Structure 1
């Protein structure tokens, strides 16, 4: 009975950790993108900077997804 309670508590804590990690990453990425947009507005865009920004955004989304998956599969 005590083992079941400890297991349930562990699952609850793991779920809280995953949600917290995803929210934190979302907020940090959102703030970074806002700062990038602000700095990009100051300089005229070039084809290289547009492509670079799109690739960076895709890479950030991929890393966030991968991190969330890793956290959700932790024992």
Structure 2
């Protein structure tokens, strides 16, 4: 997912993090130019393949929050 997503025209960043206290907890922080770029990402073959495999790999369901920038530089 990383290389193809980062190469999408509207992708500003795509980074996976884990917490210092629980290595099995992950946070995927994605930034897109706009909502159209996010929607375009969700139509790609690599996204659809990732989502099809994801539930078998997780201990709990994915939680998604779409954030609105308040005070962002860059």
TM-score, normalisation: structure 2? 0.24
TM-score, normalisation: structure 1? 0.23
Larger Rg: 1
Q: Which has the higher contact order (CA 8 A, sep 6+)?
A: 1
More helix by share: 1
